[in-house]
Structure 1
Amino acid sequence: MPKTALAKIIGERLRMIRKKQGLSQEELAHLSNTHPTYIGQLERGEKNVTVDTLDKVTNALNISLEELFRFSSINPKSVDESILQLNNLLVEVNNEDRQTILKIIHIMLEWKTDTTKRIN
């Protein structure tokens, strides 16, 4: 089944919240009475989640559906795959490291802008 942008965004959001809570896919599957393989498929955007399953998973994560969908201002068609990958990687590091990575990105973008100006 092809991945849709919305399924990928929901999956990334579920993964981010799960990891933030320190749960493995297996632990979340146990808490939500689902299969670990299914949790993995949801997180990769390979499966379209049903409302009933989404209710089970959000209850297991102790979050509301509203909290899960707080990203709703994002236009799924405008989300680049690399942004989703960056988000997934950044969830795994602490806030101090995220701030350091952000500074590095700013420096790299400034360097690129300066280089482009000199060439033109």
Structure 2
Amino acid sequence: MSDVLIQVGQRIREIRKEKGYSQNILAEKCGFTFSYIGGVERAEKNISLINLAKIAEGLDVGIHQFFIYSYEYEHLSDKEELIKELVSMLIDQNPDTIEMAKNILKEVIRYSQK
């Protein structure tokens, strides 16, 4: 089994569970069978990009969300760790809160450059 298949399958399972979806619900949203979704999550299926895009759409996430696992294995600089922490804080916020945070951050940066 390929490490990438294992890691992507695990990310799909994590996101599916975060959304509160069963394999049946996700399968219906994507036009697949629940056994196909299970096979992808267990890394038994070599999923195509087209099917990966369908699963992303069914989960209402960007396809890049399936590859976020890779950051866990990379050594990030202190600056990158802080940026990752900021993104984590914002990822589940509503658009108004994100916009407000962006505006505050702009002001902080502008002030610090004086």
Classify the TM-score, shorter chain: 0.5 to 0.7
SS in 2 for 1:34: coil
Where has structure 1 moved over 6 Å in runs of 4 or more?
A: none
State the TM-score, normalizing by the size of structure 1: 0.58
Which one-letter code corresponds to 2:49 in the other structure? V
> Match of 1:24?
22
SS in 2 for 1:69: helix
SS in 2 for 1:8: helix
> Match of 1:6?
4
> Match of 1:72?
70
Residues 36-67 of structure 1: per-residue CA shift (max 9 Å, x gap):
10000000011111011001000000000122
State the TM-score, normalizing by the size of structure 2: 0.60
Which one-letter code corresponds to 2:70 in the other structure? S
Unaligned runs of 5+ in 2: 74-114
Unaligned runs of 5+ in 1: 76-120
- In 2: Cα distance, 1:74 partner to 1:51 partner: 23
